[in-house]
Homo-oligomer: A and B are copies of this chain.
Amino acid sequence: MSDRYASFAHTGPGRALVKRLGLPDPPRLRRDRPGDPLIHGPVRLDAAPGGRLREPLAKLLTTAGVELSADTDAAADVEGATGVEGAAGVEGADHGAATAARPVLHGALLYDATGITDSTGLRALFDFFHPLARALHPSGRVIVFGSPPESCTNPREATAQRALEGLTRSIGKEFGRGTTAQLVYVAPGAERAVESTLRFLLSGRSAYVSGQVVRITPADVPEVDWARPLAGRIALVTGAARGIGAKVAEVLAADGAQVVALDVPAAGDALAEVANGVGGTAVQLDLTAPDAPVRLAEHLADRHGRVDVVVHNAGITRDKTLGRMKPDWWDQVLDVNLSSQERINEVLLDRGLIPHGGRLIAVSSIAGIAGNRGQTNYATSKAGVIGLVHSMAPLLAERGITVNAVAPGFIETRLTARIPLMFREAGRRLNSLAQGGLPVDVAQTIAWFASPGSAGITGNVVRVCGQSVLGA
């Protein structure tokens, strides 16, 4: 569960050795601690002419107490430069005067690209990012906002908006030092639904999320208490006895939810500990039992009358190449990871236990996106989870319920600690952040989906993978 290489690389002698040998240099990621501001340092916000998000974003940032950097020419930024280690000078032929001086370091660079209507307009992105490419604090944030290409009536506009993804993914690979880069597509009319995403992506809660594309659709977003967004909500977490599930229970409880922690009877002790630790209740249940959906529904109906947030985290692996796999291993993995989830959703929805404002959140996997050797069963189940999210989203939208998935990459858990060293190191380092993620990174991403503020987010699959190179 510990990344000894990273621990060593963060020591004095370790750092020297890493530098001399040109080894991967995993940065220390900024993670959220209670009382932290959303982000350190000023945030630079600019927009292509005609952008519809600059004003709403500026307002949201100001309300959230974020310091906006003056949107002046970058050369002016050298005034008041800080001396943070590793910061390089502002570059670029047009800013020769600034090259020697140190620029203001920013916490985040935000760009509203919704005004770009064809590919020649993409130059505006270069003009914004080029002089600021090295003017970010460690664990800085890059967020580009665009219009969903599928919402653009003109193909030229759709093309330019789709092109943004090539930029943000490249920036995620290029900027380094813990910087993350995302593309947020905001549908016309969804301007007011952006806040939960803006806060999540700026904060240390998205430390291990990078290179992602998020889509926000118009929705009625209620008033949100950002300190305790889930106050008064009932949240069911399956597979909650340990690992990622236990952390999800903890994070949702910290956000104010009343947690119903569920796991198999065999994990009863660990489960009780988790439930007690978060002031929630424990349910021992084998989800694959034929009567499990009904028993669960009855439990929730009796105790709480509803369930606002359902986190389908329970999952198993039974790895073997297809030719050597036992039929049982196929069946078990498919049933726990996918079919039981479908059965439970059906019963909970049929009985009206998930109210308007409800949240279904599933756990997929990078293996479900890219496939994996020795995991035909697991990858099939996790690809199915993506299908579930995509196919249920439009149906549930009518009932005011969202459905989304996280797809974890290499997360440091008891399970990944058992992977042989060479594979473990490959999984850990082959991503833009050169390290594995922590269970809390997955849990915080789930908490973002769960928030009442995320009413406009549905049908999304977001990877928590440090922008792993592994992909489709």
User: Which residue numbers of A lie inside 8 Å of B, CB to CB?
Assistant: 88, 91-93, 118-120, 122-123, 125-127, 129-131, 133-134, 149-150, 152, 155-156, 158-174, 211, 321-327, 330-331, 334-335, 338-339, 342, 367-388, 390-392, 395, 430, 469-472
Contact = CB atoms under 8 A, between A and B. Distances in A.
Contacts of A374: 170, 174
A222 B172 CA distance: 46
Contacts of A172: 371
B166 A325 contact: no
A324 B166 CA distance: 18
A339 B119 contact: yes
A471 B173 CA distance: 12
A152 B118 contact: no
Given A159-B384, A162-B383, A170-B372, 5 more contacts: A130-B325, A165-B371, A166-B382, A167-B380, A171-B376
B472 A472 contact: yes
B334 A390 contact: no
A182 to B, nearest CB: 12
Contact of A322 (B133, B150, B162, B370): B133
Instruction: Give the 5 A-B residue pairs with the shortest CB-CB distance, closest first.
Output: A471-B471, A162-B387, A169-B371, A166-B383, A133-B323
Contacts of A150: 390
A403 to B, nearest CB: 10
A162 B373 CA distance: 19
A373 B174 contact: yes
A383 B119 contact: no
A130 B323 contact: yes
B158 A390 contact: yes
Nearest to A321: B174
Contacts of A163: 338, 380-381, 383-384, 387
Contact of A171 (B167, B173, B322): B322
Nearest to A366: B471
A371 B173 contact: yes
13 contacts: A88-B323, A119-B384, A125-B380, A126-B325, A129-B376, A130-B327, A159-B342, A162-B383, A166-B383, A170-B379, A173-B371, A173-B372, A369-B471
Contact of A122 (B88, B134, B380): B380
Given A122-B380, A130-B322, A376-B171, A159 B338 contact: yes
Contacts of A367: 166, 170
Contacts of A335: 120
A326 B118 contact: no
A414 B179 CA distance: 34
A152 B376 contact: no
B324 A91 contact: yes
Contacts of A211: 371, 472
Of the listed residues A150, A369, A372, A384, the one surrounded by the most CB atoms of chain B closer than 10 A to its CB is A384
A339 B472 contact: no
Given A119-B338, A471-B469, A373 B173 contact: yes
A158 B383 CA distance: 11
A383 B164 contact: yes
A164 B380 contact: yes
A110 to B, nearest CB: 16
A376 B155 contact: no
Contacts of A129: 322, 376
A109 to B, nearest CB: 11
A263 B13 CA distance: 55
Contact of A166 (B167, B331, B371, B471): B371
Contact of A330 (B91, B126, B323): B126
Scoring A92, A321, A367 by chain B CB atoms within 10 A of each residue's CB, the highest score goes to A321
A395 B167 contact: no
A162 B384 contact: yes
A98 to B, nearest CB: 12
Given A327-B126, A472-B471, A391 B164 contact: no
A169 B390 CA distance: 19
Given A155-B388, A379-B169, A387-B163, A122 B334 contact: yes
A93 B323 contact: no
B162 A326 contact: no
A381 B155 contact: no
A392 B335 CA distance: 40
